[in-house]
Amino acid sequence: MAPILVFVAFLATAVTEVRAAQCACATGNVNVRSGVGTRYSILGVLRVGRCTSFEGDRRYGWVRVNFKGRNGWISGRYVNIQTCSGSSGTSGSTSSVCPRITSRSEWGASPPRSTSKLNRPVKYAFIHHGASAPCFSQSSCSAMVRRYQNQHMNRNGWSDIGYNFLIGEDGNVYEGRGWDRRGAHTRGYNSVGLGFCFIGNFMKRAPNSAALNTAKALIACGVSMGKIQSNYILRGHRDMGSTDCPGTALYNIIRRWPNY
């Protein structure tokens, strides 16, 4: 009987490993090359929002993938590595791009006083920070998002929380005004862009990798759903006005992201 139990346990482990396969999902249109580095030939292009199988190897900032049945390499700056879902292990799928979004009801939002429709797809993606204490759990991040909303509505006199989405260092996305409603985040550009706010203060330190990867996946998700133009322009809040937002440490990172 013991050998059968061992074999069943082995099968369960194997199934778990298969389900935990990882994919490389493009955060911008990126060349897939035959080797590590730009001197190698281009096998093709992995389009923004598309995923392909990650083969578990990283070298000098590049990741190895299975691109249409061939061994390829992509700069790690332009892909988000995450657990595959459905058929996302094959290039061309977008099913695993979108991260889970914590709904307004889940974080305890107050209802908006009014709403304005946002024309899509938008041209801009704006990065902000809340200039607040950080959060590393869903409960603490939810509390901080409620604090933001209270400040925006009660002190600023806005109809709702200003940002379209917020990202915590717990790796979760929190729904603000969402994909389809005009925000109040970047003066003069609210009708043509979405505001993505990192929860915390990032003047002197950068957000953790969980938050950074989630933000990139969220923007790629917006592109794949037609909410953001494929040739969108990425900017920090300070690019559009006199402000320290999104913090110097974070700003120096997003300037290296695709479409900046």
List pLDDT tens digits, range 147-187: 999 999 999 999 999 999 999 999 999 999 999 999 999 99
Using the predicted structure, report yes or no on whether residue 11 has a pLDDT greater than 60: no
The three-class DSSP label of residue 253 is helix
Strand order in the sheet with 228-236: 101-102, 173-175, 165-167, 193-198, 122-129, 228-236
Flag whether 233 is in a domain.
yes
61: domain CATH number?
Answer: 2.30.30.40
Same domain assignment for residues 64 and 158: no
- Looking at the predicted structure, is the pLDDT value of residue 92 above 60? no
pLDDT tens per residue across span 32-53 = 999 999 999 999 988 877 788 8
Q: How large a percentage of the chain has pLDDT more than 70?
A: 86
CATH code, 246? 3.40.80.10
Q: Do 140 and 67 fall into the same domain?
A: no
The full length of the chain comes to 260
- Say if 130 falls within a structural domain: yes
DSSP states of 5-57 as a string?
HHHHHHHHHHHHHHHT-EEEEESS-EEEESSSSTTSPEEEEE-TT-EEEEEEE
- Beta strands 193-198 and 122-129, pairing class: parallel
Q: Do 178 and 65 share a domain, yes or no?
A: no
At 97 the pLDDT is 61
When pLDDT is averaged across residues 17-45 and rounded to a whole number, the result is 80
pLDDT digits (tens, 9 = 90+) for 116-152: 999 999 999 999 999 999 999 999 999 999 999 999 9
The closest alpha carbon to 215, from 241, 193, 234, 230, belongs to 234
Among the candidates 56, 83, 110, a domain finishes at 83
Residue 94 domain-assigned (yes or no) = no
Same domain? For 52 and 165 the reply is: no
pLDDT tens per residue across span 55-86: 888 888 899 998 887 889 999 888 877 766 54
User: Which domain-ending residue is among 48, 83, 118?
Assistant: 83
Range of the domain at 199: 101-254
**96 within domain boundaries:** no
Model confidence pLDDT, tens digit, residues 239-256: 999 999 999 999 999 999
Residue 117 domain-assigned (yes or no) = yes
Residues 79 and 181 both lie in one domain? no
pTM of the predicted structure, to 2 decimals: 0.68
- Residues 161, 61 share a domain: no
Q: Specify if 91 maps to a domain.
A: no
Handedness of CA 148, 154, 156, 159 (dihedral sign): positive
The predicted structure's pLDDT at residue 15? 37
Residue 215 has pLDDT above 90, yes or no: yes
- Domains identified in the chain, total number: 2
- In this prediction, residue 54 carries a pLDDT of 86
Same structural domain, 48 and 136:
no
In a domain, 90, yes or no: no
Q: Are strands 122-129 and 165-167 parallel, antiparallel or unpaired?
A: unpaired
Q: How far apart are CA 142 and CA 109, in angstroms?
A: 9
pLDDT at residue 33 in the model = 94
Same domain, 130 and 226: yes
> Is 139 inside any structural domain?
yes
Do 15 and 124 belong together in one domain? no
**The pLDDT of residue 70:** 85
Q: Which helix (H) or strand (E) holds 149?
A: helix 138-150
Last residue of a domain, one of 83, 116, 140: 83
